[in-house]
Amino acid sequence: MLQPKNNQLVLVLDFGAQYGQLIARRVRDLHVYSEIVPCDTPASELAAMAPSAIILSGGPASVYASDAPTVDVGVFDLGVPVLGFCYGQQIMAALLGGKVGHVDKGEYGPATLVRDGASMLLADTPAEQTVWMSHRDAVVRVPEGFQVTAHTETCPVAAMECPRRRLYATQFHPEVRHTAYGNKMLQTFLFGICGLEPTWSMEGVVDALVSSIRAQVGERRVILALSGGVDSSVVAALVHRAVGNQLTCVFVNHGMLRKGEPELVEQVFRQQFDVPLVHVHAEERYASILAGVTDPEEKRRRIGTEFWKVFFEEAAKLDGVELLAQGTIYPDIIESGVRKTGGKASTIKSHHNLIPFPDGVQFDLIEPLDHFFKDEVRELGLVLGLPEAMVYRQPFPGPGLAIRIIGEVTPRKLAILKEADAIVREELDAYNARLFEQTGERNSEHSCWQYFAVLPDIRSVGVMGDERTYARPIVVRAVESTDAMTADWAKLPYEVLGAISSRIVSEVAGVNRVAYDVTPKPPATIEWE
């Protein structure tokens, strides 16, 4: 779908690998386009896609198991270079007359690879190097015409190749960063062995996505729920570039966004892009459905249900809308646990069924980002001209500030939290910017990944001037993380914490104390509710 004009395409055949998309991703990082397809795609279909190279991914199965995934053996006779990793190496060996054995002791984690003789794939890498292993089975006899090019202490065939047929394979995982020269091997394969050129770019992707959206939409009208988050914003900008005013964006303002966010959405989409935008002021409606509710899960449930109600009410007011655009990205698909392999993705309907379409309502879906990782989506956003504040927006939960106000959400509490949160973000945005300047990395050591204010449902005593106060505390939460699965509290310099604290108590009426949350996840979670 996104194949560049020079037709360079690397197909990754997916055997159910944990790292399948990661391989495609590494290839794209080297500026060659790559897509993942199911491993059982017939060789004739693969040939029709005219790939420049094929990579066989790893996978959890055992090649001789009765239900083991396999590949059309014709793949090895297409005249296209093939590179196999882990299970990919084993299936290559098994199908071409070699032998795979079940080893008693699996090998998981780093291992020292020792090269054996000449190798095209391992050229330009040291005689001994660290690689990442994750396997139980291994090749014990290579097929005729192959030579063993490396071993480890427990794995006699850690890499093999048959240069005459342009077939290469490794037992280890070059796509994983822990394999020190993995990227070098991929470069050698793509540019040295396959003769490709690093010409693929995000600008090219935007062009390709735009034409494919145009073809899918035709003359029809599209609707999109804009949240102000990165994914829905990028889809809005893309679809708008493709079909202009055939797109209507509906922005449901539930009143629990952070200070300045509704204004940013208006400014970017109405003013900068001139997208038809319906800004639904649902603040009062939400205030009433949340009145008296203190249970966090109940808050989430009410906010989520109401969101789709409001959205479909607006959709019903628009004539002839047949398509719904969504910012589903690749990790969403993985997390939903429904579509396991990227290649099969297009044939299986998944978590979209979770959108509670009202009775009798159905839309065709447009999901242009479903092959991409978050940071690729950010790059697309920059190419499309979205502002950095939107593109690098930190994760923000759908239920918004409601789950950062412990206990009942009231307009007064919301107002306090918005002000305090704006100060936390201002100070920590500046802190992150200073670290970025020093390191050139956005998520460098000790930079904050997510940071915000929380309003607990208590008051404490303080003193201001000669007066005793009995007011609210604010808890500052700032974490270092990469994926939110685990997190550590950010080791912020005392001056930064001091600046946040003194600004909050002097600028936010109703707050007389600031505390810093120093708990990692686990055992705590990032959010307080």
517 binds ligand XMP (CB under 6 A): no
Edge-to-edge, what's the strand order for the sheet holding 247-253? Answer: 277-281, 247-253, 221-226, 321-325, 364-366
Footprint of ligand XMP on 290-309 (CB under 6 A): 300
Catalytic positions, please? 86, 173, 175
Footprint of ligand XMP on 384-403 (CB under 6 A): 395, 397-399
Beta strands in 355-436 (DSSP E): 364-366
Output 114 or 484, the one with its CB closest to ligand XMP.
Answer: 484
527 binds ligand XMP (CB under 6 A): yes
Q: How many Å apart are CA 162 and CA 78, to the nearest integer?
A: 15
Nearest approach in angstroms of CB 90 to ligand XMP is 37
Footprint of ligand XMP on 202-231 (CB under 6 A): none
Footprint of ligand XMP on 437-476 (CB under 6 A): 450
Nearest approach in angstroms of CB 32 to ligand XMP is 32
> Which ranges constitute the DSSP H helices of 467-528?
494-507
Residue 161 parent element (H or E): strand 159-162
Output 58 or 399, the one with its CB closest to ligand XMP.
Answer: 399
| CB neighbour list of residue 364: distance below 8 Å, 6 or more residues apart | 322, 323, 324
Q: How many Å apart are CA 319 and CA 494, to the nearest integer?
A: 57
Output 313 or 527, the one with its CB closest to ligand XMP.
Answer: 527
Tell me which of 305, 353, 460, 525 binds ligand XMP, using CB under 6 A. Answer: 525
Number of residues in contact with ligand XMP, rule: CB under 6 A? 11
Nearest approach in angstroms of CB 522 to ligand XMP is 9
Output 134 or 450, the one with its CB closest to ligand XMP.
Answer: 450
Core vs surface per residue 149-172: b (16+ CB within 10 A) or e: bbbbeebbbbbbbbbebbbbbbbb
Output 220 or 301, the one with its CB closest to ligand XMP.
Answer: 301
CA proximity to 206, closest of 53, 338, 381, 73? 381
63 binds ligand XMP (CB under 6 A): no
521 binds ligand XMP (CB under 6 A): yes
Decide: helix, strand or coil at residue 331: helix
283 binds ligand XMP (CB under 6 A): no
- Of 182-190, 271-279, 404-412, 521-529, which part binds ligand XMP (CB under 6 A)? 521-529
Let me know: does 155 contact 116? Beta carbons within 8 Å. no
CA proximity to 94, closest of 105, 84, 108? 84
Q: How many CB atoms lie within 10 A of CB 525?
A: 11
89 binds ligand XMP (CB under 6 A): no
* C-alpha 231: how far from chain center: 10
Nearest approach in angstroms of CB 529 to ligand XMP is 8
CA proximity to 325, closest of 363, 285, 268, 373? 363
Nearest approach in angstroms of CB 481 to ligand XMP is 8
- Of 192-200, 358-366, 489-497, 518-526, which part binds ligand XMP (CB under 6 A)? 518-526
Place of tokens 């950062």: 404
DSSP notation for 231-260: HHHHHHHHHHHHHGGGEEEEEEE-S-SPTT
526 binds ligand XMP (CB under 6 A): yes
Output 37 or 402, the one with its CB closest to ligand XMP.
Answer: 402
Nearest approach in angstroms of CB 397 to ligand XMP is 3
Nearest approach in angstroms of CB 300 to ligand XMP is 5
Q: Which residues contact ligand XMP by CB under 6 A?
A: 300, 395, 397-399, 450, 484, 521, 525-527
